[in-house]
Structure 1
């Protein structure tokens, strides 16, 4: 029973994400999502008591996969040379950002989040967790003598900003540029080079 219940929840979240991305939050209806999932509205409401809860669940369903991929990539690589680790991470992160699905989610979130509480909840579901995972890696890599990081939270934010710089400043929000694999690799290389210039083990941090 538990397997079927989890499978149904996954199906609801997948259908909901598609409906929200296609129709937007306001036009999307619980009836349409129930139809796509091939379930009744009472069944749908037994999993998610409101459209708002289902919306956040669907966003978390999509973005959570990306975050867990980052976790799997970083958790055991702190003792290794950081260049290849950060390069793999950056290429994955940039490719994910410019994918049609994540671009659609970005547009959806940008047009839906109209108050601070909603925006903070979205932050909790996505970027906060991502920053925490990278922060943990940076601390471990510093302890292993691979990096020279004093403030891991800030360094994690710097790394993400460097990865995203050539995407965020190349077009309007939610409409990512078409980047070839070669362009993603070059953008990642530039980002990692700048990051390691600041946080590599040979870098001396001057205290004031």
Structure 2
């Protein structure tokens, strides 16, 4: 029970810190403000996190890992591969362009040159999250649904086709809200282009289930990404 309460408290701290980082920015948010919003003492806060930087890292981890699970489940629940890709694309872009993730990207990208926050975030959290999609594509390739290829490149190409220039426009303040119609058009176009590029048989690939996997097969090993 104590362990459960500890994890719940830690999650609460992360959620409050995330809200303040989004509202005030990283630099203007202090540990004092976080403890005040929590209604507790700074001593309690420091009992969970030794510094604001450590708390920021936990905010980034929580944001990506929880969403990665949700997005992969949406992809795998599609009635066919094309629908799964479209559903995943829309969910990914709506999340990608929402206030929390945009605020996190802005915070990480404005850290001093010597900071390791961004590097550690990519290597330990963001990269592995994309590796899960690459591994799913690898499974589909080995099942003969997609043509044999570098599954990491395939995942990154799909990502780029979904994003268009919407991420840059949102990051720079050219748009304030995720453009739903544009996101849907981009997701459909990305799914169709992806299947034309990688579908072993385009029509059959469209009808295949995203969760399809060869029988008696071990979990795919992470592929080594090009430097």
User: For the superposition of Structure 1 and Structure 2, which TM-score range results when normalised by the shorter chain?
Assistant: 0.7 to 0.9
Question: Post-superposition shift, 1:137?
Answer: 0.7
Q: What do you get for the CA RMSD once the two structures are aligned? A: 2.2
Most deviating of 194-203 and 171-180: 171-180
- Distance change (3 Å), C-alpha of 1:179 and 1:58: closer
Question: Post-superposition shift, 1:141?
Answer: 1.3
- Distance change (3 Å), C-alpha of 1:25 and 1:181: closer
Does structure 1 conserve the Cα–Cα contact (< 8 Å) formed by 2:142 and 2:148?
no
* Partner SS, residue 25 of structure 1: coil
The question of 1:187 aligning with 2:186 is answered: yes
The question of 1:21 aligning with 2:22 is answered: yes
Most deviating of 154-163 and 6-15: 154-163
Among 170, 175, 195, the residue aligned to 2:173: 175
Count of aligned positions:
200
Does structure 1 conserve the Cα–Cα contact (< 8 Å) formed by 2:35 and 2:42?
yes
For structure 2, which runs of at least 5 residues remain unmatched after alignment? 203-227
For structure 1, which runs of at least 5 residues remain unmatched after alignment? 204-208
Instruction: Identify, as 1 or 2, the structure richer in helix.
Output: 1
Does structure 2 conserve the Cα–Cα contact (< 8 Å) formed by 1:64 and 1:125?
no
Tell me the TM-score normalised to structure 1 length: 0.85
What does residue 206 of structure 1 align with? Answer: none
Residues 168-200 of structure 1: CA distance to partner in whole angstroms, max 9, x if unpaired?
Answer: 35x263536344433221111111122112111
- Distance change (3 Å), C-alpha of 1:179 and 1:76: closer
